[in-house]
């Protein structure tokens, strides 16, 4: 961990501290058949971690996904389409499900896929869950959702939270700021730039903080919350808050980069990342993502709900980080995905 960085830990009301045993979602005692949970995106990022955690608890996992071809060979996961407008099919896919773990969202608008569409899709998903008799929904949101936010992502996430709370479904809302670990995009692509570019720009002085949580810590938190029945909202944040500049410097050291890190005025970042995105055929960082981070929305003062320390993890995984660029467009918007651009190890 970097010297001088705060270590935050403590109990979250309604959530056992790490290491405490919770009413674990085990195999049903009333029946010999394991209970089935549904996870959106079990072959993508956080959904894959949640699915692994559920399988480790002896649950059967069904996934709703737009990428069934990403199922690993021999996967036990029951695959259904993530088809929001197919109301009957969606209800049928959720029938017999105990808990729905919902990771669905879009990182940025692209083509016909806007945040409003994603809100409407979420509404359809919750309606189908209610109609199918799903017992509980664990919903992955974002820190600081706000229906009056200047940022569409945060407005949309607040709208989806409201839809869930008004749905009558038993729910837990889990709010991460930034995920790391596995094949996450952000840290990997910072590493990729530090490996491949002579200069890497940081907006302002990079003094805004990020409070990441390891994707496996997020998954454990979600599965713990799935076992409960109280309506809950919790920030999913790891034990460490670092400034963005500290994170970049930590990644630079971990990957052995000689790149010069250059502070630039904040207004330079959106056009700069847009230009780099054109070269990479990706959306590297949207203007809203940069501004929201610079506004402090990727930080939280909540007690830690994770264990893995971001900078420790970066130091440990430096050899693998940023070897390949992780392309968001090919992950989620390409009609076929010969390469998902997944690069990191857990």
Ligand X SMILES: NC(=O)c1ccc[n+]([C@@H]2O[C@H](COP(=O)([O-])OP(=O)(O)OC[C@H]3O[C@@H](n4cnc5c(N)ncnc54)[C@H](OP(=O)(O)O)[C@@H]3O)[C@@H](O)[C@H]2O)c1
Q: Which of 92, 333, 337, 346 binds ligand X (CB under 6 A)?
A: 333
Q: Are 306 and 237 in contact (CB under 8 A)?
A: yes
Of 224, 246, 245, whose CA–CA distance to 236 is shortest?
A: 224
Q: Which residue is nearest to ligand X (CB)?
A: 41
Considering only residues 200 through 259, tell me which ones interact with ligand X, judged by CB under 6 A: none
Give how far the C-alpha of residue 60 lies from the chain's centroid of Cα atoms, to the nearest Å.
22
**Which span sits near ligand X by CB under 6 A: 8-16, 123-131, 172-180, 316-324?**
172-180
> Kind of pairing, strands 199-203 and 78-81?
unpaired
Q: Does 106 engage in binding with ligand X (CB under 6 A)?
A: yes
Shortest separation between residue 27's beta carbon and ligand X, angstroms? 26
Report d(CA 310, CA 190) in Å as an integer.
Answer: 14
Shortest separation between residue 86's beta carbon and ligand X, angstroms? 14
Shortest separation between residue 105's beta carbon and ligand X, angstroms? 3
List of residues 6+ apart from 6 with CB closer than 8 A: 240, 241
Considering only residues 43 through 62, tell me which ones interact with ligand X, judged by CB under 6 A: 44-47
Q: Are 341 and 211 in contact (CB under 8 A)?
A: no
With 0-12 / 13-18 / 19 or more C-beta atoms within 10 angstroms meaning exposed / middle / buried, residue 325 is buried
Q: Does 66 engage in binding with ligand X (CB under 6 A)?
A: yes
- Exposure string for 19-32, b = 16+ CB within 10 A, e = fewer: eeeeeebeeeeeee
Report d(CA 248, CA 219) in Å as an integer.
Answer: 25
Q: Which of 176, 206, 226, 238 binds ligand X (CB under 6 A)?
A: 176
**Which span sits near ligand X by CB under 6 A: 165-173, 174-182, 253-261, 273-281?**
174-182
- Map residues 127-166 to x or -, x wherever contact with ligand X holds by CB under 6 A: -------------x-x------------------------
**Which span sits near ligand X by CB under 6 A: 25-33, 71-79, 105-113, 271-279?**
105-113
With 0-12 / 13-18 / 19 or more C-beta atoms within 10 angstroms meaning exposed / middle / buried, residue 240 is buried
Report d(CA 64, CA 149) in Å as an integer.
Answer: 30
**Which span sits near ligand X by CB under 6 A: 65-73, 164-172, 255-263, 284-292?**
65-73
Q: Are 172 and 138 in contact (CB under 8 A)?
A: yes
Q: Which is nearer to ligand X, 106 or 128 (CB)?
A: 106
Q: Which of 332, 341, 342, 343 binds ligand X (CB under 6 A)?
A: 332
> Kind of pairing, strands 242-243 and 209-210?
antiparallel
Q: Which residue has the tokens 């956080």?
A: 46
Shortest separation between residue 316's beta carbon and ligand X, angstroms? 19
Q: Which is nearer to ligand X, 28 or 87 (CB)?
A: 87
**Which span sits near ligand X by CB under 6 A: 38-46, 226-234, 252-260, 312-320?**
38-46
Residues that bind ligand X (CB under 6 A): 40-41, 44-47, 65-67, 82, 103-106, 113, 140, 142, 176-179, 186, 332-333
């Amino acid at each position: 961990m970097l010297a001088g960085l705060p270590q935050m830990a403590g109990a979250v009301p309604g959530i056992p501290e790490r290491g405490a045993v919770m009413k674990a979602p085990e195999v049903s005692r009333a029946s010999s058949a394991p209970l089935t949970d549904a996870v959106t995106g079990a072959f993508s990022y956080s959904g894959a971690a949640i699915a692994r955690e559920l399988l480790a608890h002896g649950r059967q996992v069904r996934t709703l996904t737009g990428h069934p071809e990403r199922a690993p060979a021999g996967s036990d996961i029951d695959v259904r389409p993530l088809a929001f407008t197919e109301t009957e099919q969606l209800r049928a896919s959720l029938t017999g499900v105990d808990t729905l773990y919902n990771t669905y969202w879009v990182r940025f608008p692209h083509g016909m896929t806007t945040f409003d569409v994603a809100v409407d899709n979420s509404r359809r998903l919750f309606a189908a869950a209610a109609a199918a008799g799903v017992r509980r929904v664990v919903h992955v949101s974002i820190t600081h959702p706000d229906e009056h936010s200047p940022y569409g992502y945060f407005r949309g996430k607040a709208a989806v939270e409201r839809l869930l709370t008004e749905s009558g479904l038993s729910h837990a809302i889990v709010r991460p700021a930034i995920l790391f670990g596995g094949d996450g995009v952000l840290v990997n692509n910072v590493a990729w730039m530090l490996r491949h570019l002579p200069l890497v720009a940081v907006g302002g002085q990079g003094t805004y903080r990020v409070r990441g949580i390891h994707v496996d810590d997020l998954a454990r938190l979600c599965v713990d919350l799935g076992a409960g029945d109280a309506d809950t909202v919790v920030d999913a944040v790891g034990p460490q808050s670092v400034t963005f500049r500290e994170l970049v410097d930590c990644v630079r050291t971990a990957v052995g980069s000689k790149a010069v890190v250059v502070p630039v005025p904040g207004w330079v970042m959106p056009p700069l990342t847009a230009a780099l995105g054109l070269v990479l055929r990706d959306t590297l960082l949207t203007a809203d993502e940069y501004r929201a981070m610079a506004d402090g929305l990727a930080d939280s003062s909540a007690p830690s709900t994770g264990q893995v320390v971001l900078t420790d993890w970066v130091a440990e995984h430096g050899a693998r980080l940023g070897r390949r660029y992780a392309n968001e467009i090919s992950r989620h918007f390409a009609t076929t995905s010969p390469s998902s651009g997944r690069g990191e190890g857990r």
